[in-house]
Structure 1
Amino acid sequence: MTDSKHSTRAFRRTKLASLVALALVHMGASAADSLPNAEGAASAVATVVVSAKAGAYRADESAKGSASSVAPTQASLQASEPQSIITREFIELSVAPTAEYSRVVNIAPSMSGDSANGPGLSETKTTMRGFGDDQYNVTFDGIPWGDTNNPAHHSTSFFPASVIGGAVVERGPGMASNFGYATFGGSINLYSKQASKTPSASVFGSVGTWGTALLGGAYESGRLRDYGNATVQLNYQHLKSDGYLTGNSIKSDNYFIKFQRAIGADTLATVVATDNEIKYVQPDNSKGPTLAQIAQFGRNYSLNDDPTSFNYTGYNHTSKHTDFSYLRLETSWGDGLNSDNQLYTYAYDNQTISSTDPTGATLPGTKAGAPGNKDIPGIDKQNKYRAYGDIFKLSKQFGNSTGRAGFWYEYSDTDRHQYDLDLTLNVRDPRETKPTPVTFPSVLFDQQSTIRNFQPFVEFEWAATDSLTVTPGVKAVRITRAVDADVNQTTRLPQHTSVDYHATLPFLTANQRLGADLALYAQYAKGFQIPDLKSFYIADPTRNSSDPQLSTNYQLGVVGKKDVLTWDVDAYRIDFTNKYVSNGLGGTAAAYVNIGGVTYKGVEGQLTWAVGNGVALYVNGSSNKATANDTGKTISGSPDMTAALGALYNAGPWSASLIYKRTGEVRQVDFDPAKPAAYDQYLTPAYGNTDLSVAYRFQHPGAGIKTLKLQFNVFNLFNGQQVVSISPGKTAAFDQYISQAPRSVQLSLKADF
């Protein structure tokens, strides 16, 4: 087997590198100590960020009490594609304190997805316009992150809601300067909190249903005048819960630091580092119980206390460790020339012990045990990777126009395996030191893989007139995937090969201002998705097509903003081509080829009306259609609509929100001419969630506390328990069902000092 100690050493090296980088920034910033106000360095490089305090995306849209300042989602007048901007204020008031990013962005049009174990208590796979989780990007402070086998995301594993300063959901590939392995469907862009100008500290905590408890603290240094106006932000959060699903407990700890300081008069340095540890008790197959299990044990059945069962809690453990850090240097060189460089690394380490079949379709008896045994079979699973990257952008002002060029480079190294286990004889917690790996045939796979990615771009934001901006651009995609496996996944044969993927992606956007409060935008853009690692699970991957999946996006929208009303409407059509599928052949003839595709089209809108006296009304909606080009039928996993309706209140010490989100019906399987009945049988109807939040702020209650906020949240207020997912089994009796988590409550307290 290939020695994976290099991955462990990489974790340690990166932690050390983060500390060294922080020290270098501290030392290098000494040149700024003599500046009377280093704030000018930050303002010299105008970076677009979501404000954690202003309540809006742009300073000119942040008037207190305006529709823009209270809108749960909105678009900017500078938008070049459909977008939904979500602020820190909305997160703090209306999103569960235990949540992660999927719950934050779920409010936006065309977004859907809910946690089966309760808000933030299990991973959530969201959809955007019917695009699955691995078909759009997720970024943090502009850096794309995700799995290395396919660009999917583990929503609970990196960034809890307490460290998210805001989010922008971009429903489209963006411009040429937008990076990621799946610009195919769009991007969820998360941002860290904006540093406060004044020092503060806070302690926060929550208790709630299912034994849920959260405790944390945050610190803002404010501007440190003796250190060049540097700022330091710290955040710690501990979460534990028994969860809604039986036996599915969770415990996590997140550590976060952000440091900013001017270097000289024209450079702003930012260092961010975060570390997350999370432990689940859950099956690796977490697709829900069967109908028979629901009838006997209830909708929330998952694990039990019976050692003779596949569903024994002692056989199903997951331990994850992740980290994410970057060093960013933003420099103004004068004469309209600016540079922005982000050097980053992130890692994901998943160690899982799990039984193989929680449905009961498989009888006891293991490969790893003695012949004829009735022991419980399981797997020892590892998914461990580290990515290193750099994003460099250079911009130059030409009057009112701006030219940009740069690149994204990333290298990732992955170590994955699965081994057969006899859980009855060999129960192991993944936190313990493992014995020598078992030998073939009990090795399902032992695989190392790498990705080397280089994407240069150029674009020009042309101010054609005082009111019209046109931005053409082009990006080249150059990716090499390589597999070095002694025992490869699926084939269980040695695999040592690589495949190159290339694409050239054009972009063209336009924004036409129609006065101070109205704008039109249009977009034509190509997106792409990196081929899945499963395309290497064949005898000869060099037979595969080297063309990645592509999307061609046509989008048109209008944005309006007034003090009392912010609104936008858009229409889109997306042609997905080069669908990557198996040719269905075996042996050396097996290959993945490009055929057919899907057409996505629909309309979306969002509106906030500031009624007055602290009251605002909110509505959004989408009508979405995603049909396979070969069958003309709606594809699986694509809701036919989404909608949200809400009311918000903020006056004096009181604030409150009541928001209803509805997700339309979803086909759970694709149409198969050989099984036409299944297409209608596996259909989940529309469902809704209503969330209520009420908060009261006490000013200067004593003990040095400036503000004490008491908040009460109810999630799924009307206790809907609709089936939201069906996963077909070997036969219908072993289909698995996931339902909405029922009503839950959380009581929270936050003290600001």
Structure 2
Amino acid sequence: MRTRLSQIISLALLSLAVGPEAYAADAVDLGSVNVSAAAGAYRPKEAAKGTASAIAPTQSSLLATQPQSVITREFIEKSVAPTGDYSAIVNIAPSLSGTAANGPGLSETKTTMRGFKDDQYNITFDGIPWGDTNNPAHHSTSFFPASVIGGAVVERGPGNASNLGFATFGGTINLFSKKPAQEMGYGFTTSFGTWNTRLYSAYYESGRLQNAGDATVQLNYNHLQSDGYLTGNTIKSDNYTVKVQKPLGDATLLTAFASFNDIKYTQNDNGNGPTLAQSAQFGKNYSLNDDPTSFNYTGFNYTTKKTDFAYLRLQSSWGAGWNTDNSLYTYAYDNQTISSTDPTGATAPGTKIGGVGNKDIPGIDKQNKYRVYGDMFKATKQLDAGLARVGIWLEKSDSDRHQYDLDLTKGNIRDPRETKPTPLQQPSVLFDQQSSVTTAQPFAEFEWAAGPGLTVTPGVKFVNITRSVDALINQTTRLPQNASTSYRTTLPFLTINQQLTPALAVYAQYAKGFQIPDLKSFYIANPSQNSSDPQKSTNYQLGIVGKSDRFTWDADLYQIDFTNKYVSNNLTGADAAFVNLGGVTYKGIEAQGTYVIGSGFSVYANGSVNQAKSAETGQTIANAPQMTAALGGLYGAGPWSASLIYKVTGSAHQTEYDATKPADYDYYKVQAYKNADLGVSYSIRNPFLGSKLLKLQLNVFNLLDKQDITSITAGKTRPFDQYLYQVPRSMQISAKADF
């Protein structure tokens, strides 16, 4: 803890020391520098208190060029679990789905967007894309707890050429840090809930520091601890975050941000849930136990994760219409896991280290560790005809992954009888692999003011990615591997936004997205055989946005053609390769709206009808819900605030269609499941000891206590299929004091 605190304090002091002498607050003029991460990330300027734009849980901007859902900090504080993460925040949006199997924010959640799985869309923080390096998947609990997120914008599409990341394929979830307060303040939050859940959080806002050049400093500490809903699945995490902003002169803004996260889980590396037999005997929440002769023993299954995320951002206005924005960043992920190999009971105990008939428990020592460095540069020039934008994204990552066999019964020692093919005879190594990814992606676009209220934005992005592997023992082949492959493509973009009236706009988008090939494409003898063409998507989208004081609404239509699907050719040895074959067509309609009834009452609704079908079979792909819908009531008047949100996630197949399976193969289909969350708070002003505000809040999750199936994972045979269920009704009681 001391190390984390010293890092935060050092960064804060360093940032305050940078730059010239202090400037008065009223002397700061940043011109057209965009000091608020992105339009809509925080409450819109036009959103007067009590209007639909100020209240809406999700909404689109009148300047939108693709379907989006803007989610503000106000909604997060009112309706999202204090223990939550970004997945709990964005799940309210149309076409998004995902549940935490261990309770809100108590286990990782894989969110689905329009049927695109987690590694098929980007997630950014303050505009910086982040994710795993083997594929661009994400770990929802590992970087940013809800307490440090200032807002989110879900963009269902590739965006413009300046939208960056390794998976513009399906869209982007944009997360933003909290906006600095203009006045000094600090506060504390405590929260207690079901499963012995407790959270302690503290924040500090410096306000504008005139003696430090009008800098602002934000500090945040968040501690979470819980026994969790799943048996034996405890979690303990600590997050430390600092953000400093300082004007340099009258037209430059420096932002320094750093976040550190430590998590300890007790859980099996296979988190797919119990079998039907296990849930019948032990309950739907069965996971781990206290039996040291079992694969599911708590002492054999634990994980530690340490992450950090930091950036320096310099935004400058140079005059004559020129502006620049540069972000230099780094982030890291370090997952160290000890786990047994089969929690379902399909495999009998016994390791190779013991004699014939031994009952020792086999396990693994798994590491996934990487460090990423990058820089994002954008320059804009305001012209009479519109706004020109050019830039480049540069990034380099280095990964170190391994998996070793263990005999857990004998004290987590490596199994010396688990040998490798010649010439390597290093025992117990399933793989020991280093890899790297480098990318350079220059782009250019022009926001052409084509007529009254009409903006037309063509653009182009050039993608150049090189993935390299240098493995002592490679995954799957268990042979040495030293290989490199480059992927290149050109992506065109065209968006249109027409302001029909000050309160009504329409937009259209044509855009190409892409997804970096998975590292598993290197798990063959000769990766040079692979196709060098990444997976691509072609997006066609139309939408309309309307806003008034009492009603904010939008709707859109989309069709996405996914081509160049990256699949194995099913050959072996030197002929094995990954090739581009077929794809998926996605279609749908989405809408969201908030209406102010009056006297503090509002209603909210959203919905989507989604279709995702294979180009080869015409069948719906796996894990693609056929619809989503939400209905909510909101209240805010005087000291009282409340929200009740009811969401339905439609049915979804859990495995890909296979014509060779029996006629009743539809048992791998999860039916629609429903969830209702209630939040009620009461605020007291100036209650005690100089405090400005005391807020008491009750959140009840899954109010109707549903426990339907949310996921099925096929096992070795049908009796060993694994099931996850809705977490039953739970609650959290919170108190927040602001000073």
- TM tier relative to shorter chain: over 0.9
Q: Is 1:260–2:260 an aligned residue pair?
A: no
Q: 1:49 Cα shift?
A: 3.3
Q: 1:442 Cα shift?
A: 1.2
Q: Is 1:503–2:493 an aligned residue pair?
A: no
For residues 622-641 of structure 1, what are the structure 2 equivalents within 5 Å? Answer: 622-641=608-627
Contact kept in structure 1, 2:50 and 2:600, CA below 8 Å: yes
| Cα separation, partners in 2 of 1:710 and 1:644, compared to 1, 3 Å | same
Residues in 2 aligned to 1:327 and 1:602: alpha-carbon distance in whole angstroms: 39
Alignment-mate amino acid for residue 155 of structure 1: S
Residues in 2 aligned to 1:748 and 1:295: alpha-carbon distance in whole angstroms: 35
| Cα separation, partners in 2 of 1:531 and 1:16, compared to 1, 3 Å | farther
Percent identical among aligned pairs is 64
Q: 1:513 Cα shift?
A: 0.5
Equivalent position SS for 1:37: helix
Equivalent position SS for 1:104: helix
Coordinate RMSD, CA, aligned: 1.8
Contact kept in structure 2, 1:220 and 1:234, CA below 8 Å: yes
Alignment-mate amino acid for residue 268 of structure 2: P
Task: Give me the TM-score of the superposition, normalised by structure 1.
Answer: 0.95
**Number of the residue aligned with 1:375:** 360
Tell me the matched-pair count: 728
Contact kept in structure 2, 1:50 and 1:57, CA below 8 Å: no
Residues in 2 aligned to 1:448 and 1:300: alpha-carbon distance in whole angstroms: 37
Alignment-mate amino acid for residue 564 of structure 1: R
Choose the corresponding residue for 1:322, options 283, 307, 311. Answer: 307
Choose the corresponding residue for 2:391, options 394, 406, 411. Answer: 406
| Cα separation, partners in 2 of 1:713 and 1:391, compared to 1, 3 Å | same
Detail structure 1 runs of 4+ shifted over 6 Å in the superposition: 14-21
Q: 1:37 Cα shift?
A: 3.0
Q: Is 1:587–2:573 an aligned residue pair?
A: yes
Residues in 1 aligned to 2:479 and 2:80: alpha-carbon distance in whole angstroms: 47
Residues in 1 aligned to 2:6 and 2:719: alpha-carbon distance in whole angstroms: 52
Q: Is 1:334–2:323 an aligned residue pair?
A: no
Equivalent position SS for 1:294: helix
For residues 355-434 of structure 1, what are the structure 2 equivalents within 5 Å? Answer: 355-370=340-355, 372-399=357-384, 401-427=386-412
**Number of the residue aligned with 1:30:** 20
Q: 1:265 Cα shift?
A: 1.8
Choose the corresponding residue for 2:649, options 637, 659, 663. Answer: 663
Equivalent position SS for 1:29: coil
**Number of the residue aligned with 2:420:** none
Residues in 2 aligned to 1:601 and 1:511: alpha-carbon distance in whole angstroms: 21
Equivalent position SS for 2:359: coil
Q: Is 1:46–2:34 an aligned residue pair?
A: yes
| Cα separation, partners in 2 of 1:598 and 1:36, compared to 1, 3 Å | closer
Residues in 1 aligned to 2:728 and 2:618: alpha-carbon distance in whole angstroms: 36
Q: Is 1:464–2:454 an aligned residue pair?
A: no
Contact kept in structure 2, 1:566 and 1:609, CA below 8 Å: yes
| Cα separation, partners in 2 of 1:460 and 1:277, compared to 1, 3 Å | same
Alignment-mate amino acid for residue 541 of structure 1: P
For residues 163-312 of structure 1, what are the structure 2 equivalents within 5 Å? Answer: 163-312=148-297
Q: 1:247 Cα shift?
A: 0.1
Choose the corresponding residue for 2:434, options 448, 455, 464. Answer: 448
Equivalent position SS for 1:288: coil
Equivalent position SS for 2:528: helix
Residues in 2 aligned to 1:616 and 1:690: alpha-carbon distance in whole angstroms: 17
Alignment-mate amino acid for residue 554 of structure 2: D
Q: Is 1:158–2:117 an aligned residue pair?
A: no
Residues in 1 aligned to 2:208 and 2:664: alpha-carbon distance in whole angstroms: 62
Residues in 2 aligned to 1:153 and 1:642: alpha-carbon distance in whole angstroms: 22
Residues in 2 aligned to 1:280 and 1:370: alpha-carbon distance in whole angstroms: 33
Q: Is 1:91–2:76 an aligned residue pair?
A: yes
Equivalent position SS for 2:521: helix
Contact kept in structure 2, 1:35 and 1:265, CA below 8 Å: no
Choose the corresponding residue for 1:485, options 455, 459, 471. Answer: 471
Q: Is 1:733–2:710 an aligned residue pair?
A: no
Q: 1:38 Cα shift?
A: 4.8
Alignment-mate amino acid for residue 122 of structure 2: N
For residues 685-700 of structure 1, what are the structure 2 equivalents within 5 Å? Answer: 685-700=671-686
Alignment-mate amino acid for residue 40 of structure 1: D
Equivalent position SS for 1:364: coil
Equivalent position SS for 1:453: strand
Residues in 2 aligned to 1:400 and 1:333: alpha-carbon distance in whole angstroms: 19
Alignment-mate amino acid for residue 324 of structure 1: F
Residues in 2 aligned to 1:581 and 1:55: alpha-carbon distance in whole angstroms: 37
Contact kept in structure 1, 2:253 and 2:314, CA below 8 Å: yes
Equivalent position SS for 2:498: strand
Q: Is 1:713–2:699 an aligned residue pair?
A: yes
Alignment-mate amino acid for residue 342 of structure 2: D
Residues in 1 aligned to 2:132 and 2:353: alpha-carbon distance in whole angstroms: 29
For residues 537-686 of structure 1, what are the structure 2 equivalents within 5 Å? Answer: 537-677=523-663, 679-686=665-672
Equivalent position SS for 1:72: coil
Q: Is 1:525–2:514 an aligned residue pair?
A: no
Residues in 1 aligned to 2:368 and 2:90: alpha-carbon distance in whole angstroms: 27
Q: Is 1:748–2:737 an aligned residue pair?
A: no
Contact kept in structure 2, 1:669 and 1:679, CA below 8 Å: no
Contact kept in structure 2, 1:199 and 1:220, CA below 8 Å: yes
Residues in 2 aligned to 1:204 and 1:604: alpha-carbon distance in whole angstroms: 36
Alignment-mate amino acid for residue 707 of structure 1: L
Ranges in structure 1 where 5+ consecutive residues have no aligned partner: 1-11, 430-437
Alignment-mate amino acid for residue 747 of structure 1: I
Equivalent position SS for 1:620: strand
Ranges in structure 2 where 5+ consecutive residues have no aligned partner: 415-423
**Number of the residue aligned with 1:514:** 500
Contact kept in structure 2, 1:216 and 1:235, CA below 8 Å: yes
Residues in 2 aligned to 1:486 and 1:373: alpha-carbon distance in whole angstroms: 31
Residues in 1 aligned to 2:57 and 2:579: alpha-carbon distance in whole angstroms: 42
| Cα separation, partners in 2 of 1:676 and 1:627, compared to 1, 3 Å | farther
Contact kept in structure 1, 2:238 and 2:263, CA below 8 Å: yes
Contact kept in structure 2, 1:73 and 1:84, CA below 8 Å: yes
Contact kept in structure 2, 1:184 and 1:551, CA below 8 Å: yes
Residues in 1 aligned to 2:226 and 2:25: alpha-carbon distance in whole angstroms: 49
Residues in 2 aligned to 1:29 and 1:423: alpha-carbon distance in whole angstroms: 55
| Cα separation, partners in 2 of 1:651 and 1:707, compared to 1, 3 Å | same
Equivalent position SS for 1:424: helix
How far does the alpha carbon of each residue in 1:507-564 deviate from its partner, in whole angstroms, 9 at most, with x for none? 0000001011000000000000000000000000010000000000000000000000
Q: 1:225 Cα shift?
A: 1.0
Residues in 1 aligned to 2:293 and 2:518: alpha-carbon distance in whole angstroms: 37
How far does the alpha carbon of each residue in 1:646-674 deviate from its partner, in whole angstroms, 9 at most, with x for none? 00000000000000011000100111111
Moved more, 588-597 or 699-708: 699-708
Task: Give me the TM-score of the superposition, normalised by structure 2.
Answer: 0.96
Equivalent position SS for 1:210: coil
Alignment-mate amino acid for residue 681 of structure 2: A
Contact kept in structure 1, 2:464 and 2:487, CA below 8 Å: yes
Residues in 1 aligned to 2:599 and 2:352: alpha-carbon distance in whole angstroms: 69
**Number of the residue aligned with 2:417:** none
How far does the alpha carbon of each residue in 1:280-330 deviate from its partner, in whole angstroms, 9 at most, with x for none? 000000100000001100000000000000000000000000000000000
Contact kept in structure 1, 2:439 and 2:466, CA below 8 Å: yes
| Cα separation, partners in 2 of 1:585 and 1:230, compared to 1, 3 Å | same
Q: 1:400 Cα shift?
A: 5.7
Contact kept in structure 1, 2:698 and 2:733, CA below 8 Å: yes
| Cα separation, partners in 2 of 1:279 and 1:731, compared to 1, 3 Å | same
